[in-house]
Amino acid sequence: MRTWRIGLVGVGRGSGYGSVFARDPRCTVTACCDADEQALARFQSELGLADGDCFTSYDDFIGADVDIVFIGTPIPYHAEQTIKAVESGKHVLCEVTAASTIEDCARIVAAVRRSGMAYMLAENCCYWPFVRQWREMVQAGRLGEIIYAECEYVHDIRPLIVDPVTGTKRWRAHRAPLHYCSHSLGPILDITADRIVRACGVGTSSKLLGIPEAGGIDFQVALFETEKGAVIKLLRSSCVPRHPALHFYSLQGTGGFVESSKRGVPGEGLLYVEKEMETAQSLPVDIVDQSLPAHAGEGGHGTAEYALVRAFLSALESGQKPPLDEVRAMDLTVPGLVAHQSAMEHGRWLDVPYLG
């Protein structure tokens, strides 16, 4: 069995994935990188790494002897760090979203193809067990043809946008709500095996934070048309006061519907199958896969990180493309970029480019 040498960049998200990689007998964490020296020291202690395996400079880190780079840095760094990693002969698992612009998304696709290295987007919501269950239900035809879907992600992170003490604007001040769309669109597109071809968006007010940057927009709503002819509605907000945070998913087919709870996931959802039942029935919407080892939850978000890493490593070992490869990653990223542009143009419908 091959041992994969892992390098982690960005210790905030890297610590969760680092725990998953460190637990896997196929992996050993051999290097880490973070610009914050104190955070790096804590991470170094947790992983038991030598001083020479820890870096504050990404350019120094990328020369380390690793096979896989996990990128957990702020989104504006993803494109450059991904490209440098694959060009250095390293596989990449990158946190969402893939990049901040369509141009950078295209650059990532081109670099991955030139290099021959593997790339996967770490969209953990696609690895919740209920997503797999709903996908199997749709593939079996129980809901008929999916014609409409809804998804919402409302998460009040105002202190991460503007520091409440100093008033300093952080990097998320420049991230529009709809840019952070893959937690919502990822499961829907995974379940339906579809992709988005057109988009429009609305939402420009900034009453809560009162800053002009895109990250201060109160909320945004997008409508998407898919290649298979379905319509998807997405609500995104990083500002509105709602606690706890909300993930919501709903699929309407010609033969029934399935949806999660408006209280969020996990929880009790609803299922109605026209040929099987007279009215909707309760349906557990689980984010923990009970068939996995007890430590599978250490990465966070139920057992999603564990399942995601396992899928990535399995793809590498089999020589196959990862499930959320460089092309599928952009199917989950580009629609939000286009929808935000539409919102800036008063909701004009725009085509969503395919980067395959």
Chain segment 236-260, per-residue pLDDT in tens: 999 999 999 999 999 999 999 999 9
Q: Are residues 79 and 143 in the same domain?
A: no
Cα separation, 261 vs 265, in Å, equals 7
- pLDDT 10s digits, 145-204: 999 999 999 999 999 999 999 999 999 999 999 999 999 999 999 999 999 999 999 999
User: Could you read off the pLDDT of 161-173 as tens digits, one per residue?
Assistant: 999 999 999 999 9
- Domain containing residue 320: CATH number: 3.30.360.10
Residue 11 has pLDDT above 90, yes or no: no
0.95 surpassed by pTM: yes
Q: What is the pLDDT of residue 14?
A: 64
DSSP assignments along 259-318, one per residue: E--TT-SSEEEEEEETTT-SS-EEEEE-SS-TTS-GGGGTTSTTTHHHHHHHHHHHHHHH
Q: Does 184 share its domain with 107?
A: no
Residue at a domain's end among 68, 94, 123: 123
Percent of the chain residues past pLDDT 90, beyond the cut: 94
CATH of the domain at 45: 3.40.50.720
Name the pLDDT band for 26 (thresholds 50, 70, 90). Answer: very high
* Torsion angle (degrees, nearest 10) of CA 31, 35, 38, 39: -60
Q: Is 254 contained in some domain?
A: yes
| Residue 210: pLDDT over 80 | yes
Instruction: Kindly state whether residues 189 and 173 are assigned to the same domain.
Output: yes
- pLDDT of 12 reads 77
Residues 214, 301, single domain; the answer is yes
pLDDT in tens, 220-229: 999 999 999 9
Q: Which domain holds residue 211?
A: 125-351
Judge whether 244 lies within some domain.
yes
Count of domains for the chain: 2
Region 31-54 average pLDDT: 92
Domain assignment present for 356: no
pLDDT tens digits for range 268-317: 999 999 999 999 999 999 999 999 999 999 888 999 999 999 999 999 99
Residue spans of beta strands (DSSP E) within 1-88: 4-9, 27-33, 54-55, 68-71
On whether both 80 and 214 belong to a single domain, the answer is: no
Q: Looking at 88, 104, 123, which one is the last position of a domain?
A: 123
CB atoms within 10 A of CB 349: 13
Q: What is the pLDDT of residues 110-137, one digit of tens each?
A: 999 999 999 999 999 999 999 999 999 9
Whether residue 118 is found in the same domain as residue 147: no
With cut-offs at 50, 70 and 90, classify the pLDDT of residue 15.
confident
55 and 107 inside one domain: yes
Residue for token digits 């349906």? 283
| DSSP 8-state assignment for residue 207 | S
Question: Is 243 found in the same domain as 104?
Answer: no
Q: Return mean pLDDT, the chain.
A: 96
Q: Are 86 and 68 contained in the same domain?
A: yes
CB atoms under 10 Å from CB of 1, counted, come to 6
Specify the pairing of strand 91-94 against strand 27-33. Answer: unpaired
Indicate whether 178 belongs to any domain: yes
Are residue 98 and residue 182 in the same domain, yes or no?
A: no
209 occurs within a structural domain: yes
| Residue 17 counted as domain residue | yes
Give the model's pLDDT for residue 46. Answer: 84
Count, residues in the chain: 356
Q: What is the CA radius of gyration of the chain?
A: 20
* Residue that terminates a domain, selected from 123, 140, 172: 123
Are 253 and 166 found together in one domain? yes
Same domain for 172 and 48: no
